[in-house]
Amino acid sequence: MKKAILAVLSIFILSAFGTAFAADPVLISVAYGEDVILVSNLNYADSMIAGVVANKIGASVFVIDKDTVASEVMSAIEDINPENVYIFGGPAVVSEEIEDFFSSYNVVRFFGMTRYGTAAEVARYFWAEGIDRAIIVADTEGNPEDGNPDLVALAKEEAASEVIPLLFVPEGELPTDVNNTLNELGIDNITVIGGNDTLRTKLQQANKAVESFTGTATQLKETIQTRVKNRITNRWGQNTPLVIVAAGNWTDHINAPSIPKGRALLVWSESEIDDTVDTVKEANYSKLFVVGKRALALEIVNVLEAENITVDHIVGVPKDVAILIRNRLNQTIGNLSDNWKINLGTITNAIRDNWPAIVRRCNETLHQFRIYSAIIPSVAEETIDETISTYQDGDYVQAMRKCYQLIQLKNKYVWKYRNQLNKTVNQLVSDESTTTNTASLDAELRGLYATLTQAPSISSVSNVNIASVQRQSRECVLALGSAKALYLQKRYVLAKQTLEAATRLCQ
């Protein structure tokens, strides 16, 4: 198996020797149906990203447990009969068994080792045609209790109202992977919600135009919600759905993961109820829901009903609330899905313009499979063959899908076989959360070359002569050469990963 994989990949690979995929495949027409997005109830970040994507493609969002799918959720999905089932989040929050359970559908999972990586992967796929703007919000990786769910919820509303990507970064950091995403999609204008001056400076140094809102969620609430209201009114008119979220803690935010063509109002305390009622009175809403913390939600409902305002109060665990809201807004979701289909031709043509970036990432992924195949016990040869074949056949949209399926498969292997790859969970998180130290990477690459060749120290990576590496395995030489090529292309995250594999292969 391993030799066969290496034989296939020795031809189709991004390295110093060539590229697997043509840069200009033939466009074909593809019919899309209503899609489904599955998110875990273990964190809020994935559901926030899903809400933004659902507002673009007209998908239904369902909240599930890590290892089980409730019968009500399964029944709702079967009724929809989706063409695609997207899973947002890695095996740590949605198990591989769940992915296998939906194997009768076209399943694509999106995840990184952190929420920063997951959001970046989602943006690359659903905005593959390129986009000028994005929302960035500073959030903390780890336990949901330690994050900024209220701030992220505001950022989600801002992104959904513009139908633009929502990206996460650590406080004061611009991870290399996030920066690569901005560049690949052509994102030059960014609204930062939260964060500090360090982040804004780094974005400006990366030649990005930055609009920033500094402060806590409480301080920014009125400003952001007014912007969202005006934007939705301009885009879709006043007769749109509104969800009032009584937010006690982070779990309340995933009670309303997707409000198509609508918006959410956050209420954290009784003192905000009167202002909320005034906001409701200012416009006519097609649907008015109240969800979240039971006691606070009931108080909101009572005040609204005293004003003769009809309210749909939905209580229960996130999965039940998501199903009920989806049922109430079924027609709106259908309209968005239809618009997505109508606009697909325009989007596909735009993807064509951004095709080189997609080709590069897919080739890099094939390259990483080649490196990992000497370490990981089993690589999906069939998936690799299908990806290459689809590109060569010119099936444009399906090729992009398979490319991203391959990227996510690579991420899954890295997570599953992290011990064989000498990677701890903390190292995987660090790789995705920080800016790659290029000086350190440069020194490591030159140092490994010097050790293998017993050559004196060299001053530049560009002077590394791979041909002079003797008495090493073919995999070692290829890995070292590819690490050099990726470094010179300024693909530092991949260069770092490949150098780590080379270090092991060359031992």
Last residue of a domain, one of 380, 406, 430: 430
Q: What are 236-271's pLDDT values in tens digits?
A: 777 788 888 888 888 877 766 677 778 888 888 999
Of the candidates 92, 95, 125, 97, the one whose C-alpha atom is nearest the C-alpha of residue 110 is: 125
Q: What are 163-193's pLDDT values in tens digits?
A: 999 999 998 889 888 998 999 899 999 999 9
* pLDDT-based confidence at residue 376 (cuts at 50, 70, 90): low
Q: What is the pLDDT of residue 417?
A: 76
pLDDT at 21 over 50: no
Last residue of a domain, one of 342, 362, 396: 342
Report if residue 324 sits inside a domain.
Answer: yes
Q: Are 336 and 479 within one domain?
A: no
pLDDT at 463 over 80: no
Least confident of 178-192, 336-350, 456-470: 336-350
* pTM of the entire predicted model: 0.78
Q: Are 180 and 255 within one domain?
A: yes
Q: Are 252 and 165 within one domain?
A: yes
Q: Are 160 and 61 in contact (CB under 8 A)?
A: no
pLDDT at 429 over 80: no
Q: What is the pLDDT of residue 1?
A: 33
Q: How far is CA 84 from CA 64, 284, 390, 407, in A?
A: 17, 34, 18, 17
Report if residue 278 sits inside a domain.
Answer: yes
Of the candidates 219, 235, 231, 86, the one whose C-alpha atom is nearest the C-alpha of residue 157 is: 231
Report if residue 98 sits inside a domain.
Answer: yes
Percent of the chain with pLDDT over 90: 23
pLDDT at 474 over 70: yes
Least confident of 32-46, 295-309, 382-396: 382-396
Q: What is the pLDDT of residue 354?
A: 63
* pLDDT-based confidence at residue 115 (cuts at 50, 70, 90): very high
Q: Are 196 and 330 within one domain?
A: yes
Q: Are 313 and 445 within one domain?
A: no
* pLDDT-based confidence at residue 468 (cuts at 50, 70, 90): confident
**Is 14 or 82 the better-scoring residue by pLDDT?**
82
Q: Are 408 and 440 within one domain?
A: no
Q: What are 326-340's pLDDT values in tens digits?
A: 777 777 777 777 776
Report if residue 348 sits inside a domain.
Answer: no
Q: What is the pLDDT of residue 38?
A: 94
Report if residue 347 sits inside a domain.
Answer: no
pLDDT at 80 over 50: yes
Of these ranges, 195-209, 355-369, 418-432, the one predicted with the greatest mean pLDDT is: 195-209
Last residue of a domain, one of 307, 342, 377: 342
pLDDT at 87 over 50: yes
Instruction: Tell me the longest C-alpha to C-alpha distance in the chain.
Output: 84
Q: Report the pLDDT averaged over residues 491-505.
A: 77
Q: What are 225-234's pLDDT values in tens digits?
A: 889 888 888 8
Q: What is the pLDDT of residue 266?
A: 86
Report if residue 349 sits inside a domain.
Answer: no
Q: What is the pLDDT of residue 8?
A: 29
Placement of tokens 């899903």 in the chain: 50
Q: Please state, as a whole number, how many other Cβ atoms lie within 10 Å of the Cβ of residue 83.
A: 14
**Is 398 or 162 the better-scoring residue by pLDDT?**
162
* pLDDT-based confidence at residue 88 (cuts at 50, 70, 90): very high
Q: Are 302 and 359 within one domain?
A: no
* pLDDT-based confidence at residue 37 (cuts at 50, 70, 90): very high
Report if residue 450 sits inside a domain.
Answer: yes
Q: Report the pLDDT averaged over residues 52-79.
A: 90
Which domain covers residue 480, as residue numbers? 436-505
Q: Are 233 and 127 within one domain?
A: yes
pLDDT at 25 over 90: no
Q: Are 9 and 51 within one domain?
A: no
Q: How far is CA 357 from CA 291, 361, 364, 436, in A?
A: 41, 6, 11, 20
Report if residue 189 sits inside a domain.
Answer: yes
- Count of residues for the chain? 507
Q: How many structural domains comprise the chain?
A: 3
Q: What is the pLDDT of residue 135?
A: 97
CA-based torsion, 4, 104, 87, 240: positive or negative: positive
Q: Are 125 and 48 within one domain?
A: yes
Average pLDDT, the chain: 79
Q: Report the pLDDT averaged over residues 110-115.
A: 90
Of the candidates 24, 478, 407, the one whose C-alpha atom is nearest the C-alpha of residue 180 is: 407
pLDDT at 357 over 90: no
**Is 134 or 248 the better-scoring residue by pLDDT?**
134
Q: Are 134 and 203 within one domain?
A: yes
Q: What are 188-208's pLDDT values in tens digits?
A: 999 999 878 899 999 999 899
**Is 274 or 369 the better-scoring residue by pLDDT?**
274
Q: Are 137 and 271 within one domain?
A: yes
- Tell me the DSSP string of 369-414: HHHHTTTSS---HHHHHHHHHHHHHT-HHHHHHHHHHHHHHHHHHH
pLDDT at 16 over 60: no
**Separation CA 87–CA 102 (nearest Å):** 10
Of these ranges, 1-15, 165-179, 455-469, the one predicted with the greatest mean pLDDT is: 165-179
